Amino acid sequence: PERVFSGVQPTGNLHLGNYLGAITKFVALQDRYDCIYCVVDMHAITVWQEPEELKKTIREVTAAFIACGVDPKKNIVFNQSQVPQHAELAWIFNCVARLGWLNRMTQFKEKAGKDRENASVGLYAYPNLMAADILAYRATHVPVGDDQKQHLELTRDIAQKFNNDYATSIAAHGYGDTFFPLTEPLIAGPATRVMSLRDGSKKMSKSDPSDYSRINLSDDADAIAQKVRKAKTDPEPLPSEEEGLKGRPEAENLVGIFAALADRTRADVLGDYGGRNFSEFKAALVDLAVAQLGPIGAEMKRLTQDPSAIDAILADGSERAEAIAVETLKAVKDIVGFVRH
């Protein structure tokens, strides 16, 4: 059966990149697939998180999912740490993945920076936990932003190596040729990699020290308007064709954001705005962003006023997630050769 899994880290303000790259896809997929959406709190602590702040952010991300339109009854919405099978399977994957594979991960290199000796072991092993998140549910599809492509490839490598290494045992236990699916990333549309509003060469990110680099889901209309107006651009008017966006990263980014928010193609947007100047385009972009994000921010605010209602959603989702993951883990333990009662 086809199943979707994806996660978002509770590490700070959710922004337009998380929204367009991931959360809007979660909503679009919920009618067609059996979907599991996770607040990956165990990933968050690979870098230091203030405990009280972390709790708050876990609830905020949950509220954001719901405010954006994810239905927690139809789908499973939960936080990772409440389902112990993620950590259990991650250990087994630590023993499947090779050091050489992890050494190639660019996100670790970026996040660890120059002081690599001081990075947590968890930050290094992060992709193995991510593989466990996905494969604990034997998910077939994962909607993510472009930055997660390499980690998804690693997930496939782990699944494939597990399937190969244990092929005899997998067959002997009646699971046929392969136990884990080779999960497909779902990365599509005009905004799979939203860039910083201040620098078209850097991705929009929660950890950028400048708040002007991103539009937060919680920003009000004034903040959105100010940030878009101040967004970096070049002095030329907009091109009429997509070709003309080459070498103009800031223009390309804003056109991509516009297209994604309006659910149109970039070519279509340029058909309307080609030849016009940025001030005109930005004004339309502000209207579009405020119309779409305004109600989401307001709904997030309303939902986070009742933390116990959010905790109840997470508890319910965790129980339903665990019921699936526990079966995967039983099978994996049998395949690996562990003794269990």
Residue 205 or 240: the one with the smaller Cβ distance to ligand AQP is 205
207 is in an annotated binding site: yes
Which letter does DSSP use for residue 137 in this model?
A: T
Q: Looking at 56, 149, 161, 206, which residue is catalytic?
A: 206
- Stretch 121-150: interaction string toward ligand AQP, x if CB under 6 A: -----------------------xx-xx--
Residue 72 binding ligand AQP, by CB under 6 A: no
Q: Is 318 annotated as a binding residue?
A: no
Q: Is 202 a catalytic residue?
A: no
Active-site residue flag, 203: yes
- Closest CB to ligand AQP among 209 and 337? 209
Which residue number, 11 or 79, has a Cβ lying nearer to ligand AQP? 11
Is residue 79 close enough to count as binding ligand AQP by CB under 6 A?
A: no
Q: Write down the least CB distance from residue 303 to ligand AQP, Å.
A: 19
Residue 147 or 242 having the CB closest to ligand AQP: 147
Dihedral of CA 245/251/253/255: which sign?
Answer: negative
Q: How much is the CA Rg of the chain, to the nearest whole Å? A: 21
Site for ligand AQP in 181-240 (CB under 6 A): 192-194, 203-207
> Which residue, 138 or 203, is less far from ligand AQP as judged by CB?
203
9 binding ligand AQP? (CB under 6 A): yes
Among 3, 18, 85, 179, binds ligand AQP (CB under 6 A): 18
Is 222 annotated for ligand binding? no
Contact predicate 328/135, CB 8 Å: yes
Query: Is 206 part of the annotated catalytic residue set?
Result: yes
Give me the least distance between CB of 257 and ligand AQP, in Å please. Answer: 10
Q: Are strands 141-143 and 184-186 parallel, antiparallel or unpaired?
A: parallel
Distances (CA, A) of 121 to 10, 30, 42, 106, 114: 19, 35, 13, 16, 15
Contact call for residues 148 and 9 (beta carbons, < 8 A): no
Q: Cβ distance 318 to 83 under 8 Å?
A: yes
Residue pointed to by tokens 């003309």: 244
The secondary structure of 265-319 as a DSSP string is -HHHHHHHHTT--HHHHHHHHHHHHHHHHHHHHHHHHHHHT-HHHHHHHHHHHHH
Instruction: Compute the distance between CA of residue 248 and CA of residue 262 in angstroms, rounded to an integer.
Output: 21
Backbone angles phi, psi at 246, to 5 degrees: -60, 135
Name the residues annotated as catalytic: 111, 203, 206
Which residues make up each annotated binding site for ATP?
9-11, 17-18, 145-147, 194, 203-207
**Site residues (CB under 6 A) for ligand AQP?**
8-9, 11, 17-18, 21-22, 144-145, 147-148, 192-194, 203-207
